[in-house]
Structure 1
Amino acid sequence: MKRGDTMYRVAVCDDCAKDGRQIFQWAEQIFAERKMEVSLSLFHNPQDLLAQVKTKNRHYDLFLLDILMGETSGIQLAQALRESGSRAKLIYITVSRDYAIDGYKVQANDYLVKPIEKEILDASIGRILDRHDSVLVEADGGLQPVLVSAVQYCEADGHYVKLWLDVQTEPTRVRATLSEMQQKLGEWFVRCHKGYVVNLAQVREIRSNAILLRSGMTIPLGRRYRSQLQEEMVRYVEKAVPL
């Protein structure tokens, strides 16, 4: 299914070049077979992946990580990624079962032990892909799929709503009310102002009268919405990052 200007972004990190290339190729085939647009990145050094997320503000929807990778383990890498604000899905693909408990502490969605086959990776990816990860919206005179995780926030614009996506410099203008759009996008989209709804997964910091997003953008926070937003943010973090 084509997703307009958005796509699923996947990062593979394995210090074994052969294993990394194989996982990369399988992931490419799996997403193609599912008719999903994908942008794949391959890393052999955990620090290179972390730099993309922390300093270049690169957003990923799925990490496929090895664990035993020299000085920086896949567990340490995931901890740093979570601390940077990433809520991406995570699959570990490693030679040892010894780190399974640690893996789930950093919100790993699956833990695969090498050697694996493409079918095993396919089944794992299939289990974690959210069937509601994209929604159809009425934009530009027709129906257009939008990746939910890519929506930073929604802004009321008369009889329309502007969807600000993290991969676009201009918003997607949708014929809907703000309340209708909030309901369509799901529970982690919360009203923060009479004219704004924010994606909690995109929030970096809640200030007294504004919200700082992971992209560096800021949006207004109405006083009457602050308490509820903070409560929802706590609920989101507790559910998204179980200990």
Structure 2
Amino acid sequence: MNTVRIAIIDDDADERKTLQASFERLAQESGSAIVIIEFAGTDDFLDGYDRSFDLICMDIDMPGTDGMSAAQRLRQMDADVPLVFVTNMAQMAIHGYAVHALDFILKPINYYSFSIKMRGILALIGNRRRKSLVFPTTDGFLRISSDNLYYVEVRGHHLSFHTTQGVIRQRDSLRNWEAKLEGLPFERCNNSYLVNLKQVTAVAKDSVQVGCDWLPISRTKKKPFMNALTEYMGGTSV
């Protein structure tokens, strides 16, 4: 399970405590792993910003550099990090599109609405994750993104990695690669195939299309596979 690093920026210590408690409750309920880093002001946050955060939760009405101005500076340093405004200034939060904010949460925090929004956001963060995979070749190595891996196939003691750049073969175990890809959206559709859910294009009865290939879904793996696929696509488990 990958740990989600969350920055909370708010000048009110009680508000930071309330938001942290909400995240801790959500983590306990969902089985997620989170680390919260608190900042009492935007300048401290921005001056030490190191692109290590998976999510930023920021108030708008703060002394010094306000949240909206801080978000504009943040986007100059990091155009992609998910940003959520947690504020009582709904009239300002609706302008968050200008800094590509994912959403806003109104104070005082209602845990029910908070949990619904944050479950979706944490799922989005997990879906965006990728790893760099390195494969040895006869004359060097090949590096590809996990996004470009369609699926892994096992035959005996050998694996075939079906990628956008062709098929790579090496001696290894599928269990070993499940561990290497932990935290990414990969799921077994049967005992022989580990599928990248990002690359699934269709499901028909007991088969799943991954890239140009149709792979069988076994009876024992169907429910966990379909649950993982549904969760990845943003729905609820079936």
The Cα shift of 1:82 comes to: 1.5
Match of 1:130 in 2: 123
| Distance across 1 between alignment mates of 2:28 and 2:144 | 26
Q: Relative to structure 2, which stretch is displaced further, 123-132 or 89-98?
A: 123-132
Identity of aligned residues (%): 24
Distance 1:120 1:162, change over 3 A: same
Distance 1:39 1:86, change over 3 A: farther
The one of 25, 29, 32 equivalent to 1:36 is 32
Distance 1:149 1:104, change over 3 A: same
Gaps of 5+ in 1: 135-147, 166-173, 188-243
Q: Secondary structure at the match of 1:64?
A: strand
| Distance across 2 between alignment mates of 1:8 and 1:34 | 13
Distance 1:18 1:131, change over 3 A: closer
The one of 91, 106, 109 equivalent to 2:99 is 106
> Structure 1 residue 74 and structure 2 residue 67: aligned?
yes
- Residue 92 of structure 1 aligns to which amino acid in structure 2? F
Q: Secondary structure at the match of 1:68?
A: coil
> Structure 1 residue 20 and structure 2 residue 16: aligned?
yes
Counterpart contact for 2:54–2:125, Cα < 8 Å: no
> Structure 1 residue 49 and structure 2 residue 28: aligned?
no
The one of 4, 16, 32 equivalent to 1:8 is 4
The one of 90, 104, 108 equivalent to 1:97 is 90
Q: Secondary structure at the match of 1:71?
A: coil
Query: TM-score, normalised to structure 1's length?
Result: 0.55
| Distance across 2 between alignment mates of 1:164 and 1:29 | 33
The Cα shift of 1:63 comes to: 1.1
Q: What's the CA shift string for 1:108-145, capped at 9, x where partnerless? A: 111222122222211110232336825xxxxxxxxxxx
Alignment of 1:116-195 (within 5 A): 116-130=109-123, 133=126, 148-149=128-129, 151=131, 153-158=132-137, 176=161, 178-179=163-164, 184=196, 186=198
Counterpart contact for 1:7–1:38, Cα < 8 Å: yes
The Cα shift of 1:86 comes to: 4.5
| Distance across 1 between alignment mates of 2:71 and 2:83 | 8
The Cα shift of 1:161 comes to: 7.2
Gaps of 5+ in 2: 147-158, 168-180, 182-194, 200-238
Distance 1:38 1:164, change over 3 A: farther
| Distance across 1 between alignment mates of 2:93 and 2:124 | 26
Distance 1:88 1:47, change over 3 A: same
Relative contact order higher in (CA < 8 Å, ≥ 6 apart): 1
Q: Secondary structure at the match of 1:157?
A: strand
Q: Secondary structure at the match of 1:111?
A: strand
The Cα shift of 1:35 comes to: 0.6
Counterpart contact for 1:89–1:108, Cα < 8 Å: yes
RMSD: 3.3
Counterpart contact for 2:59–2:67, Cα < 8 Å: yes
Query: TM-score, normalised to structure 2's length?
Result: 0.56
